[in-house]
C-alpha cells in the first residue's frame, strides 16, 4: 500500500472518529443541559409553591385575627347589654336573663353520606330535652338523643324544627329543614313575608333564645291558603368541628 493511500485512509478514519465523537459530546451536553433545566424548573416551582403557601397562611391569619377582634367587640357589647338588661329586670323584680352555653365537639357523621347529622361529644346532656345548636354565632340546628347519645340535627335536616320570627313585624313561623335549605311553612296569607326579610329565633319553644340570627328569606311561594318562605341560612357548616349548645 502506498504512502499516499495510507495517509488518505488515516484522514478518513480521523474524520469519522471526529464526527462520531462530536455527536456524542453534543448528546452528552444535551443530556446535561436537560438535567440542569429540569432541576431549575422543579426548584422554581417548589419555591413558588412555598411562597404561595406562606402568603395564603399569612392572609388566613390576618382574616382570623380580624374575625377574633370583631367577635371580641361583639362579646363586650353583649356583656354590656346583658348587664343593663339584668339591672332593669332586677328593678322590676323579674328573673335575670342569663344565656348559658357549652362548647361541644363533633365526633363523626351519624350515617355515611348524610352531612346533616352528627354525633357530639356532649357529657351530661339531658335525654328528655331538646337543645339549640349554634355555629359561629348563628343558629345551626338542634340536639336530641339517639341510642343514648347526643345527636346533632343541623337545621337543614328534615327532622329539625324550631320557632322563628320573620322581618320587622316579627311574623311567627316554624322552620323546617329541606336537606339544603330551610323552609318556613303554613304562614297565614295576611302575614305577607318578603324576600330579604331576616329570620331570627323566637325563643318561644325554649330551644333558642330570641334574636339569634337564622338567615334571610330568598323566596316566597304562595298557595291557596298559606305562604311558604325559603330561607338561606347564615351558618354554613362545611367542616364540622366545634359547636355551642344552649343549655
In this predicted model, what pLDDT tens digit does every residue of 80-92 receive, in sequence order? 556 666 667 666 6
The cell for 65 is: 385575627
Fold of 99-247: Thrombin, subunit H (2.40.10)
Say what the alpha-carbon torsion angle 176, 178, 180, 184 is, to the nearest 10 degrees.
-40
* Structural domain boundaries in the chain: 1-96, 99-247
Cell of 42: 422543579
- Greater confidence (11 vs 100) lies with 100
Q: For 34-56, write each residue's pLDDT tens digit.
A: 544 455 555 655 666 666 666 66
| Spatial distance between the Cα atoms of 12 and 9, rounded to a whole number of angstroms | 5
Q: Identify which of 63, 219, 232, 77 has the alpha carbon closest to the alpha carbon of residue 139.
A: 232
- Contacts of residue 210, defined as CB under 8 A and 6 or more positions apart, other chains included, come to 165, 200, 201, 202, 203, 204
pLDDT at residue 14, rounded to an integer = 45
Question: Does pLDDT of 33 surpass 60?
Answer: no
Question: What pLDDT does 15 receive?
Answer: 46
Other Cβ atoms closer than 10 A to 245 = 21
pTM of the model: 0.64
Contact criterion met (CB below 8 Å) for 233 and 182: yes
* Tens-digit pLDDT profile for residues 59-77: 777 777 777 776 666 665 6
**Alpha-carbon gap, residue 241 to 104, rounded angstroms:** 9
Backbone angles phi and psi of 83, in degrees to 5? -60, -45
**By three-state DSSP, how is residue 218 classified?**
strand
Answer whether residue 23 shows pLDDT above 50: no
**Taking 90 as the threshold, does the pLDDT of residue 172 lie above it?**
yes
CA distance 205 to 165: 12
Q: Any idea what DSSP says for residue 170?
A: T
**Set of cell numbers at residue 145:** 338523643
* pLDDT band at 163; cut points 50, 70, 90: very high
Amino acid at each position: 500500500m502506498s504512502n499516499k493511500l495510507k495517509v488518505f485512509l488515516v484522514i478518513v478514519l480521523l474524520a469519522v472518529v471526529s464526527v462520531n465523537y462530536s455527536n456524542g459530546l453534543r448528546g452528552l451536553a444535551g443530556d446535561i443541559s436537560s438535567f440542569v433545566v429540569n432541576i431549575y424548573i422543579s426548584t422554581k416551582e417548589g419555591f413558588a409553591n412555598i411562597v404561595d403557601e406562606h402568603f395564603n397562611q399569612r392572609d388566613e391569619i390576618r382574616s382570623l385575627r380580624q374575625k377574633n377582634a370583631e367577635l371580641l367587640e361583639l362579646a363586650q357589647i353583649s356583656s354590656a347589654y346583658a348587664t343593663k338588661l339584668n339591672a332593669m329586670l332586677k328593678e322590676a323584680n323579674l328573673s335575670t336573663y342569663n344565656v348559658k352555653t357549652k362548647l361541644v365537639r363533633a365526633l363523626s357523621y351519624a350515617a355515611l353520606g348524610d352531612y346533616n347529622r352528627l354525633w357530639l361529644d356532649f357529657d351530661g346532656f339531658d335525654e328528655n330535652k331538646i337543645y339549640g345548636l349554634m355555629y359561629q354565632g348563628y343558629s345551626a340546628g338542634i340536639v336530641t338523643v339517639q341510642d343514648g347519645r347526643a345527636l346533632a340535627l343541623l337545621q337543614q335536616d328534615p327532622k329539625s324544627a324550631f320557632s322563628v320570627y320573620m322581618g320587622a313585624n316579627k311574623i311567627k313561623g316554624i322552620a323546617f329543614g329541606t336537606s339544603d335549605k330551610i323552609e318556613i311553612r303554613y304562614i297565614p296569607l295576611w302575614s305577607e313575608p318578603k324576600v330579604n326579610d331576616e329570620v331570627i329565633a323566637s325563643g318561644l319553644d325554649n330551644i333558642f333564645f330570641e334574636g339569634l340570627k337564622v338567615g334571610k328569606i330568598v323566596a316566597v311561594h304562595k298557595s291557596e291558603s298559606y305562604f311558604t318562605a325559603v330561607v338561606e341560612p347564615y351558618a354554613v357548616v362545611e367542616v364540622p368541628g366545634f359547636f355551642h349548645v344552649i343549655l
